Amino acid sequence: MDTIRFDDQEKALLVAKLQRYFTEELKQPIGRFDAEFLLDFLSEELGAYYYNRGVADAQAVLTAKAADLADAVWQLERPTEFKR
């Protein structure tokens, strides 16, 4: 898996969210520089867990859709004297 990278606009939004959380929930202001380091740390240490959960969720959706498609194909079958 390649390292997940955010463009400057995305990173600024995420940093602002971290700063807002620290200020509102923890009553502890955090500067942009520190918030960027925290974001990098969280991305490196926890990002793969969230990414893998997303992959597993996508796999579950694909599996369900494939089963639906297989059922739809079997419904096209015409009756014959052959037994399955």
- Per-residue pLDDT reduced to its tens digit, 6-51: 999 999 999 999 999 999 999 999 999 999 999 999 999 999 999 9
Structure tokens at 39: 């974001």
How many domains does the chain fold into?
Answer: 1
The answer to whether residue 84 sits within a structural domain is no
pLDDT for residue 79: 87
The answer to whether residue 38 sits within a structural domain is yes
The answer to whether residue 66 sits within a structural domain is yes
The answer to whether residue 83 sits within a structural domain is no
Q: How many CB atoms lie within 10 A of CB 19?
A: 18
pLDDT for residue 5: 85
The answer to whether residue 1 sits within a structural domain is no
**Predicted model pTM:** 0.72
- Residue-range definition of the domain harbouring residue 47: 8-75
The answer to whether residue 80 sits within a structural domain is no
The answer to whether residue 32 sits within a structural domain is yes
HEC string of the chain? CCCCCCCHHHHHHHHHHHHHHHHHHCCCCCCHHHHHHHHHHHHHHHHHHHHHHHHHHHHHHHHHHHHHHHHHHHHCCCCCCCCC
pLDDT for residue 27: 98
The answer to whether residue 29 sits within a structural domain is yes
Is the CB of residue 10 less than 8 Å from the CB of residue 60? Answer: no
